[in-house]
Structures are given as C-alpha cells and as structure tokens.
C-alpha cells in the first residue's frame, strides 16, 4: 500500500456518524452488502494488479455510480455507467443487479421492521427529520398551538355542514422541535422495556459500525484517490 497510516486514518474519519446515534458511513449502506462485496473483490488491489494508485479507485467508482442508478429519472448516472457496461458487461451487470437486489431487500425490511438495523434506520430517519425541520417550534409553543387547533376543530364541528365545507380543516401544526436522542430507540419503545431495548440496539449498532469500518479499511487504498485527504500521497 502506498498511502501513509495518517492518510488512512484521515479517510476513516469521514465515516463518522453525521449526528449522534447514526450508524457509521451513512449513505454507503449497499457497499457493505455481502453479495456486493463478493463481486467487488475481483478488482480489489489484493486480487488485481494496478499500474498506479489512482487506478485503484476503479471498483469503488463503479459502485458509486451504480449506487445512484436505481434513483428514478437519474439519466446522468445511467449514461455514466455505459462505458463500464461496454468494457466489462458481465461484471458491471452483476454489480448492478446486486445493488438493486439490496435496495429491494432493504425496502422490504424497513416496511416489516424485520431486522434491528432496519428498525434503527427508520427510527433515526424520522427523528432526524424532526431535529432538522425548518418549520419547528418549542415544546411550549407546540402545546399552545395544539390546544388552539383542538378548540378550532371543535368550533368547526359545531357549525352547519355548508359552513364547515367553506372553512375546510384546521391549520396543520408545525413540527415540535426535538434534540438529538441520548440513547438508541429513544421514544421508539415502551418505558417498561426501554433499558433492555436500548442495550440491545446499542450492541447491534456497535457491531454494525465495527463491521462497516473493517470493510472500509480493507478498501481504503481504493477510496483514497477519490478524497482530498490523499493530496500529496506517494506513488510507486
């Protein structure tokens, strides 16, 4: 490997969660899928001879493009994939199929909450939206507005039907602003089993973060050419 330990550690810092209680390497989820990893291994530097360090980014560049291809209407990414389909049609097609398969499985798991990780991902996404909501108010103002809305709804309900139709529905409440959670699944489980659930999810998160970091460290020399932390790196 032609990169220094410091450069690798700088790269690994990029995977830190963007906010408290997020999983590491958010946005790279399909990269950690077992089938995706198996296909990518063909072009890992341990298995393929590259002439220069910059060329080692090839497998992760292709994955990066494919990872965005399933987004509906994203024609630019489809066009970016064509050169690889022409050069390595079988390998690229397998990688594309693996990523799409991962997306389908992930969607199914999130719908059914079939794994701890999928439940954690949905919980954190919903909380994150409320933590960063542009239209948000304090808890005190939220309670005041909710009470006002309830009174308004009662008054509208007491009116004749024609007048109710003219007035429509009561205004939609803004989101109550919340702070980042202090523990996993905070607010997502019953108080009676919160302690046990928090410990279970914390263990699952630590295990998953460790796994992701191990995989990214294994691929560090392929990712490094794509990030600015590699400026001035050594070459063979």
Domain ranges of the chain: 5-125+186-230, 136-175
State the number of CA atoms in the 13 A half-sphere of 235 facing the CB. 11
CA distance 172 to 158: 20
Considering just the CA atoms, what is the radius of gyration of the chain in Å? 24
Other Cβ atoms within 10 Å of 36 Cβ, number: 22
DSSP string, 154-193: HHHHTS-HHHHHHH-SPPPPPEEP-PPPSSTTTTSS-GGG
Structure tokens at 133: 């909501």
Residue 233 is predicted with a pLDDT of: 42
Our measurement of the distance from residue 4's CA atom to the centroid of its chain's CA atoms, rounded to an integer in Å, reads 29
CA 109, 76, 227 angle in degrees (round to 5)?
A: 75
Specify the pLDDT at position 232.
43
48 has a pLDDT exceeding 50: yes
**Average pLDDT, stretch 80-89?**
90
Interhelix angle 194-218/116-131, nearest 10 degrees:
100
Answer whether 0.75 is exceeded by the pTM: no
Comparing 17 with 165, the larger pLDDT belongs to 17
pLDDT digits (tens, 9 = 90+) for 214-232: 999 999 999 999 885 444 4
Report how far apart, in Å, the C-alpha atoms of 104 and of each of 93, 97, 98, 184, 205 are.
Answer: 16, 11, 10, 25, 22
Taking residues 196-202, what's their average pLDDT?
Answer: 72
Most confident stretch, 75-79, 130-134, 185-189: 75-79
Q: Say what the pLDDT of residue 68 is.
A: 84
Return the beta strands (E) in 88-165 as ranges: 136-137
34 pLDDT tier (thresholds 50, 70, 90)? very high
Say whether pLDDT at 185 is over 70: no
Q: Which pLDDT belongs to residue 236?
A: 34
- Cα–Cα distance measured from residue 194 to residue 148, given in angstroms and rounded to the nearest whole number: 33
Retrieve residue 43's tokens. 């072009």
SS3 (DSSP) at 14: coil
Q: How big is the CA angle at 230 (ends 55 and 5), to the nearest 5 degrees?
A: 105
Q: Which residues of 41-73 are buried (b: 16+ CB within 10 A; e: fewer)?
A: eebbbeeeeeeebeebbbbbbbbbbbbebeeee
pLDDT confidence of residue 230 = 42
- Point out the least confidently predicted range of 17-31, 87-101, 127-141: 127-141
Q: Look at residue 33 in the predicted model and tell me its pLDDT.
A: 96
**In whole numbers, what is the pLDDT of the chain averaged over residues?**
78
pLDDT tens track for 100-159: 999 988 888 777 766 777 777 777 777 666 666 555 555 566 566 567 667 766 766 777
């Amino acid at each position: 490997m032609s990169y220094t330990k410091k450069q690798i550690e700088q790269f690994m810092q990029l995977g830190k969660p963007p906010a408290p209680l997020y999983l590491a390497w958010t946005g790279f989820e399909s990269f950690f899928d077992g089938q995706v990893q198996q296909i990518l291994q063909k072009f890992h530097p341990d298995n393929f001879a590259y002439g220069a360090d910059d060329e080692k980014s090839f497998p992760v560049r292709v994955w990066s493009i494919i990872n965005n291809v399933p987004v509906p209407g994203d024609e630019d990414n489809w066009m970016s994939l064509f050169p690889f389909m022409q050069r390595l049609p079988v390998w690229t097609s397998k990688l594309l199929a693996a990523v799409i398969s991962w997306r389908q499985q992930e969607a199914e798991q999130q719908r059914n909450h079939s794994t701890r990780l999928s439940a954690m991902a949905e919980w954190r996404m919903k909380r994150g939206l409320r933590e960063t909501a542009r239209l948000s108010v304090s808890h005190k103002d939220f309670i005041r507005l909710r009470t006002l809305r309830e009174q308004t709804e009662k008054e509208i309900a007491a009116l004749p039907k024609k007048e109710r139709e003219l007035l429509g529905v009561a205004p939609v409440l803004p989101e109550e602003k919340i702070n980042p959670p202090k523990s996993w699944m905070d607010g997502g489980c019953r108080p009676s089993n919160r302690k046990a659930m928090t410990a279970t999810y914390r263990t699952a998160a630590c295990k998953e973060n460790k796994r992701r970091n191990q995989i990214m460290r294994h691929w560090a020399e392929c990712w490094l050419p794509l990030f600015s932390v590699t400026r001035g790196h050594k070459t063979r």
